[in-house]
């Protein structure tokens, strides 16, 4: 059934119960200068720190936006872009779009004006909804993008080149538009993370979204009593598909604006969160704050917190072992997926397999997986190959890009571009991105394996291994290391520690620098390759 029916069911069954809470520990009013620089003013009211809506109000707000869109001529398969930071309006806007039969197109909040325009054109977006943080960026391209599009502004002071979402929706009907939807109807376009070049437009239908909700509840057992803490950006499939577990169960979700360790623990404590999805950097920050004594567990009420799970990138086993030292009673899960497979859960570790930490796990609920060689033939257990997925959550296509679609969709299987291996128990281990593999002197080096080893050094906060051009070997492995604040680490110490690796896997170069990560926690290796290979970024991305 269409994903919108879950919202309507919750409004009927749990209308007066809280559906969404927005918590902003650093709430401030944005005063625009330019999109690159804006002033922050302190809030005039402390109530801005926390806002909430019930399931009934959530559904009514979605209906109001749907009816506004319909009044402006929006029909099935039209495209509506969302350019918002996480906020209480985000999900009602998303569901309002879906209720019309139109396609929701979330945009990365880090996009530059040119990237925004590129994605709007790529996805044939008819309407753009944007927030106050993006006034400058949208204004820079408004003359071009508004010629064929409507612009709706979500905020208190609407710029002259847009229309006021708040006023318009307040004057729209709160009744359901009653548009008939089917599982095969198009629902959303998500853009790839852009770590390997210009983002691709990934089209999903309602069946994909519903399957993501079923997968999430099957894996993590959400009930009405669970409270989900959502920190990652909602434009990304990961955050939204994990929240679908709350949608299908009718449970409360908390949108936390901020990633500081104290803010996370305080919100878990005050909102009585039971499920928290973290990215590796945030989990590392919490552990470092606890190790240093800056945070103390006894200052918080965390006894109800039952599950911590991580996704979006390979998870160092040492991190989870360390986490269990502080939180021995936590269930833990690793979730693997990509936007082309409706986000997380296509493969997952499972809360009962803590002994297999380091693996991404087994095929998720309703999913199949296999590992193939360059000819598409399945490899033997223990051999490295490309991970392929099959299931109801596989994308429909790359929108308006049949060539790119044909490269990754073959006989119903999604070729992920991730290199993996399977152990004797059937568990899958992620080895690396296909495009990140380093070929040095004819040997294949998988950076993730080297990174996991280097993280064993206490002083390492983060690490990325990339290939650097070498005249004799073609490429050599370079380890870029970010050292923990207040600690020291030398190149000699790193090299001595890496003597424990096979000779061919030892990094030939050690560099101390910050590790760039995108909003979903993935290391932005193209930026590092561009910086240290001194080649144009696009070329570096194409080389992978």
pLDDT digits (tens, 9 = 90+) for 20-32: 999 998 765 444 4
138 pLDDT tier (thresholds 50, 70, 90)? very high
Q: Determine the pLDDT at residue 236.
A: 85
* Owning domain of residue 80: 4-230
pLDDT in tens, 67-118: 999 999 999 999 999 999 999 999 999 999 999 999 999 998 888 898 899 9
Q: 3-state DSSP call for residue 159?
A: coil
Cβ count near 405 (within 10 Å): 18
Position 40 in a domain: yes
Which of 185, 200, 230 is at the close of a domain?
Answer: 230
472 pLDDT tier (thresholds 50, 70, 90)? low
Which of 174, 195, 230 is at the close of a domain?
Answer: 230
Query: How many C-alpha atoms does 401 have within 13 Å on its Cβ side?
Result: 19
CB 455 within 8 A of CB 481: no
Number of residues written out for the chain? 544
Q: How far apart are CA 421 and CA 487, in angstroms?
A: 36
**Average model confidence (pLDDT) for the chain?**
88
pLDDT in tens, 428-468: 988 766 677 786 765 668 787 788 889 889 899 999 998 88
479 pLDDT tier (thresholds 50, 70, 90)? very high
For residue 372, what are its two tokens?
């193939």
Is residue 36 predicted with pLDDT exceeding 60?
no
DSSP secondary structure string, 9-64?
Answer: HHHHHSTTSEEEEEE-TT--EEEEEETTEEEEE--S-GGGGEEEEEHHHHHHHHHH
* Cα diameter, the chain: 69
CA 259 to chain CA centroid, nearest Å: 14
CB 99 within 8 A of CB 63: yes
Backbone φ, ψ for residue 316 (5° rounding): -65, 125
pLDDT in tens, 306-353: 999 987 666 778 888 899 999 999 999 988 888 999 888 899 999 889
Mean pLDDT of 275-301: 91
Residue with tokens 């936006």: 65
Mean pLDDT of 213-234: 94
Q: Determine the pLDDT at residue 543.
A: 29
Q: Determine the pLDDT at residue 210.
A: 96
CATH of the domain at 466: 3.30.300.30
In 3D, which of 406, 426, 404 has the Cα closest to residue 356? Answer: 426
In 3D, which of 211, 195, 186 has the Cα closest to residue 80? Answer: 186
Is residue 537 predicted with pLDDT exceeding 60?
no
Q: How far apart are CA 223 and CA 250, in angstroms?
A: 8
Mean pLDDT of 120-124: 95
**Of 149-158, 402-411, 499-508, which gets the smallest average pLDDT?**
499-508
Q: Determine the pLDDT at residue 544.
A: 28
Percent of the chain with pLDDT over 70: 89
**SS in 3 state form for 443-512?**
EEECHHHHHHHHCCCCCEEEEEEEEEEECCCEEEEEEEEEECCCCCCCHHHHHHHHHHCCHHHCCCEEEE
Q: Determine the pLDDT at residue 68.
A: 98
Position 155 in a domain: yes
216 pLDDT tier (thresholds 50, 70, 90)? very high
Q: How far apart are CA 215 and CA 346, in angstroms?
A: 8
User: What is the count of structural domains for the chain?
Assistant: 2
CB 349 within 8 A of CB 357: yes
Q: How far apart are CA 404 and CA 205, in angstroms?
A: 19
Q: Interhelix angle for 55-71 vs 4-13, to 10°?
A: 130
Q: How far apart are CA 493 and CA 495, in angstroms?
A: 5
pLDDT in tens, 172-203: 999 999 999 999 999 999 998 654 456 889 99
Q: Determine the pLDDT at residue 21.
A: 96
Q: Determine the pLDDT at residue 239.
A: 86
| Residue 445 burial (10 A CB sphere; 0-12, 13-18, 19+) | buried
Position 270 in a domain: no
Q: How far apart are CA 486 and CA 305, in angstroms?
A: 31
Which of 203, 230, 257 is at the close of a domain?
Answer: 230
CB 48 within 8 A of CB 27: yes
Is residue 536 predicted with pLDDT exceeding 70?
no
CATH of the domain at 160: 3.40.50.12780
Please list the residues that pair with 144 across neighbouring strands.
Answer: none
CA distances from 180 to 52, 65, 102, 121, 276 (A): 30, 17, 12, 28, 35
Position 372 in a domain: no
Q: Determine the pLDDT at residue 35.
A: 40
Q: How far apart are CA 327 and CA 310, in angstroms?
A: 15
Continuous segment of H or E residues that includes residue 534? none
CB 368 within 8 A of CB 416: no
218 pLDDT tier (thresholds 50, 70, 90)? very high
Continuous segment of H or E residues that includes residue 83? strand 79-83
Is residue 266 predicted with pLDDT exceeding 90?
yes
Q: Determine the pLDDT at residue 284.
A: 85
In 3D, which of 345, 387, 386, 350 has the Cα closest to residue 367? Answer: 345
């Amino acid at each position: 059934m269409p994903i919108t029916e879950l919202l309507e069911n919750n409004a009927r069954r749990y209308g007066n119960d809280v559906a969404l809470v927005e918590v902003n520990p650093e709430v401030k009013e944005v005063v625009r200068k330019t999109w690159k620089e804006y002033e922050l003013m302190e809030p005039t009211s402390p109530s801005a720190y926390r806002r909430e809506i019930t399931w009934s109000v959530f559904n009514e707000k979605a209906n109001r936006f749907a009816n506004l869109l319909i009044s402006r001529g929006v029909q099935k398969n039209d495209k509506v872009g969302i350019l918002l930071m996480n906020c209480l309006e985000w999900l009602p806007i998303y569901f309002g779009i879906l209720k019309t039969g139109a396609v929701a197109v979330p945009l990365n909040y880090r996009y530059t004006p040119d990237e925004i325009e590129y994605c709007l054109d790529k996805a044939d977006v008819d309407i753009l909804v944007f927030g106050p943080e993006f006034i400058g960026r949208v204004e820079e391209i408004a003359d071009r993008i508004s010629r064929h599009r409507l612009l709706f502004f979500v905020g208190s002071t609407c710029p002259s080149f847009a229309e006021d979402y708040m006023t318009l929706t307040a004057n729209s009907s709160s009744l359901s538009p009653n548009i008939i939807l089917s599982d095969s109807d198009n629902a959303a376009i998500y853009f790839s993370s852009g770590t390997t070049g210009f983002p691709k437009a990934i089209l999903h239908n309602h069946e994909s979204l519903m399957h993501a909700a079923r997968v999430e509840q099957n894996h993590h057992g959400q009930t009405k009593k669970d409270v989900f803490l959502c920190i990652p950006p909602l434009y990304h499939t990961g955050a939204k598909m994990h929240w679908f577990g709350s949608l299908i169960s009718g449970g409360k979700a908390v949108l936390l604006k901020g990633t500081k360790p104290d803010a996370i623990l305080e919100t878990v404590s005050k909102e009585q969160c039971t499920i928290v999805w973290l990215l590796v950097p945030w989990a590392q920050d919490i552990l470092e704050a606890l190790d240093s004594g800056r945070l103390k567990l006894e200052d918080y009420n965390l006894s109800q917190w039952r599950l911590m799970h991580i996704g979006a990138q390979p998870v160092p086993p040492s991190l989870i072992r360390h986490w269990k030292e502080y939180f021995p009673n936590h269930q833990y899960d690793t979730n693997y997926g990509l936007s082309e497979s409706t986000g997380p859960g296509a493969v997952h570790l499972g809360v009962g397999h803590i002994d297999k930490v380091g693996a991404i796990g087994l095929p998720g609920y309703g999913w199949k997986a296999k590992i193939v060689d360059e000819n598409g033939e399945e490899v033997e257990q223990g051999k490295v190959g490309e991970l392929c997925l099959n299931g109801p959550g596989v994308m429909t296509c790359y929108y308006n890009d049949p060539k790119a679609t044909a490269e990754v969709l073959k006989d119903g299987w999604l070729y992920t571009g991730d290199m993996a291996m399977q152990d004797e128990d059937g568990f899958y281990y992620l080895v690396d991105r296909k495009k990140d593999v380093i070929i040095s002197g004819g040997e294949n080096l998988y950076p993730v394996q080297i990174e996991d080893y280097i993280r064993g050094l206490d002083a390492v906060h983060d690490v990325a291994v990339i290939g650097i051009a070498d005249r004799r070997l073609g490429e050599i492995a370079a380890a870029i290391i970010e050292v923990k604040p207040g600690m020291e680490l030398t190149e000699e110490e790193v090299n001595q520690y890496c003597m424990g690796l096979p000779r061919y896997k030892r990094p030939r170069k050690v560099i101390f620098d910050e590790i760039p990560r995108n909003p979903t926690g993935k290391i932005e290796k193209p930026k590092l390759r561009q910086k240290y290979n001194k080649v144009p970024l696009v070329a570096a991305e194409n080389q992978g």
